[in-house]
Amino acid sequence: MVLKKMPEFNIRPDTTAYNLVIRSLCEKGDMDMAKQLMGEMGLIDLYPDMITYVSMIKGFCDVGRLEEAYALFPVMSVHGCYPNVVAYSALLDGVCRCGIIEKAFELLAEMEKEGEGCRPNVITYTSVIQSFCEQGRAKDALSVLELMEVRGCAPNRVTASAWINGVCMNGQLQDVYKFIERIVGGGSVSMGDCYSSLVVCLIKIKKVEEAEKTFRMALSSGMKLDSLACSMMIREICSEKRVLDGVEKTGCLSSIDIDIYSILLAGLCQKSHSAEAARLARSMVEKRIPLRTPYVEKVVEHLKNFGGKELVAELVSMCKVNQVLKMECCETATGCCLQNNSSRDVIIIDMIKKVEEAEKTFRMALSSGMKLDSLACSMMIREICSEKRVLDGFCLYEEVEKTGCLSSIDIDIYSILLAGLCQKSHSAEAARLARSMVEKRIPLRTPYVEKVVEHLKNFGGKELVAELVSMVLKMECCETATGCCLQNNSSRSADLAVLSNDTFSAKIKINKISTSI
């Protein structure tokens, strides 16, 4: 073990080093070794901190050793660590997973009794509700909901989604609608939010007919369902070779999954609904929504005879085609050429892997004051980063930003750049880019979260890290863990967790990142 070898090189391990090893052991379930290491800390004048205790509590709970997890609470204060909502929530999660209902309620009461810093919040209650619902204990989950309302803690969309999902999975659909009326009556969750979650859950459990009935009823009632519910419903209907119209009139499609547009357009073309296809294609052009590559040839073949060469050329120009030949074939098929500008030149050069020539053309265009489009900028920066020249990529990003070309750049580029800067320890540049992402409300992509948080927490400050995390998870984080309060913006996180068949995913990520901070 590296930790044991450190003294041989005259390096004294600190609490952070022990915490990293202990957390790793806990995640692997090797609690005996983790416990031994925690005991050894005192021998070299080191003491466990809150991070150590939370890791140990969670580890013991994961392997079902609840008594040992409980035993850590009385000794925490000896080392100046006082139980907070994060520690209690970790224990509560373990108790719930073991199905010890009475103990869970006792623990909630104890947290309430401890007062400020330990009082259960909406995340704590939601975690308990999720656990009970997963075990088919909908009535117990409802009791927790009643308890949180009595104690003045308003449920949010994630809470509602957790309960709706649990009830649907257990086939108790008759209870869902009563629950929705009740929770909406409290004023903390909207009818649209509840019905969006319900539609997602019904599709997930293959009750598509019930989902469509609920969806259409919600639309006719004037509700605005969220983009995830709309995307899934339209996709499901298209897969049955039916076309759904009238959704856009509700204003629900502002942030819908862009793949849906391509699926719809291809379906309309296949069924020879030419007028509707042309109308949708014009809408995509106006909104700058690119047609997905697999559908290009089918759509072009149909629309070139109906929608006009101009419309087809616009659609093709927005496509992120993967091969130059496909682009040229589309131009030949439509009988018209796309604009021969510097952006297109860069894309073509990049596609045939003449990256050096592409970069030369790109920089020449920038120095000449040209404004290249977002596709050219995205591809060029991504290519430079792939060559492990992340600092060059960042410098180019800053140059492009000055020209105003970044307004619609591929948001993945921000995450790739930020993760690369952190990996190469370019801390000042990483913090600068992270602040820019926060200002522009550009969320960090989930795969990069842990790597970026681990680096930035020591350089960019807790506030910056907390802002980044809040945009990724879109749900409340514990104020104690980060030292600042995040916005409760949980619009899609719960539904995404439901969709991935992992109702605990959002909660686990929050606990993991909060602990590391």
25 pLDDT exceeds 90?
Answer: yes
Winning range, highest mean pLDDT, from 23-37, 110-124, 224-238: 23-37
Nearest to 344 by CA among 332, 356, 355, 358: 358
For residues 322-339, give the mean pLDDT: 39
Instruction: Give the pLDDT confidence score for residue 473 in this predicted structure.
Output: 58
For the chain, what percent of residues have pLDDT higher than 70? 78
CA 38 to CA 409: how far, in whole Å?
48
pLDDT at 504: 36
Residue 405 pLDDT grade (very low, low, confident, very high; cuts 50, 70, 90): low
Q: Residue 99: what pLDDT?
A: 82
Distance in angstroms (rounded) separating the CA atoms of residues 488 and 36: 39
Average confidence (pLDDT) over 165-170: 83
Copy the structure tokens of residue 125: 């209650």
CB 489, CB 474: distance < 8 Å: yes
* pLDDT at position 251: 52
The pLDDT value given to residue 425: 85
pLDDT band at residue 202 under the 50/70/90 scheme:
very high
SS3 120: coil
pLDDT tens sequence across 275-306? 888 888 888 888 888 888 788 888 888 887 77
Mean pLDDT across the chain, nearest whole number?
76
Query: What per-residue confidence (pLDDT) applies to 406?
Result: 60
Cα dihedral: 205, 210, 211, 216 (round 10): 180
Lowest mean pLDDT among 52-61, 272-281, 346-355: 346-355
Q: Do 383 and 356 contact (CB within 8 A), yes or no?
A: no
As a whole-number percent, the residues of the chain with pLDDT over 90 amount to 12
Letter string b/e over residues 168-178, b meaning 16 or more CB atoms within 10 A of that residue's CB: bbbeebebbee
Residue 368 pLDDT grade (very low, low, confident, very high; cuts 50, 70, 90): confident
In this structure, of 83-87, 230-234, 490-494, the range with the lowest mean pLDDT score is: 490-494
Q: What is the pLDDT of residue 72?
A: 93
> 336 and 361 in contact (C-beta within 8 Å)?
no
Alpha-carbon distance 329 to 101, whole Å? 65
Q: Measured between alpha carbons, how far is 397 from 405 in angstroms, rounded to an integer?
A: 10
Q: How far is CA 354 from CA 257, 288, 350, 429, 495, in A?
A: 33, 28, 6, 28, 42
Residue spans of alpha helices (H) in 205-257:
208-220, 227-239
Beta strands in 329-369 (DSSP E): none
pLDDT above 90: residue 65: yes
- Give the Cα separation of 58 and 19 in Å (integer): 13
CA-to-CA distance for 173 and 357, rounded, in angstroms? Answer: 61
Per-residue model confidence (pLDDT) at position 353: 55
Closest CA to 158 of 508, 517, 507: 507
Nearest to 511 by CA among 428, 450, 461, 458: 450
Tell the burial category of 344 from Cβ atoms under 10 Å away from its Cβ (0-12, 13-18, 19+): middle
- Neighbouring residues of 310: CB distance < 8 A, sequence distance ≥ 6: 336
More confident residue, 407 or 127: 127
131 vs 143: CA distance, rounded Å: 13
Say what the pLDDT of residue 439 is. 83
Instruction: Report the C-alpha gap between 127 and 508 in whole angstroms.
Output: 10
| DSSP tag of 476 | -
Which range, of 163-167, 346-350, 501-505, averages the lowest pLDDT?
501-505
CA distance linking residue 392 with residue 385, whole number of Å: 8
Contact 127, 91 (CB under 8 A): no
Strands, DSSP E only, in 371-514?
A: none
The amino acid at residue 316 is V
Give yes or no for residue 43 having a pLDDT over 60.
yes
Element (H, E) at 32: helix 31-41
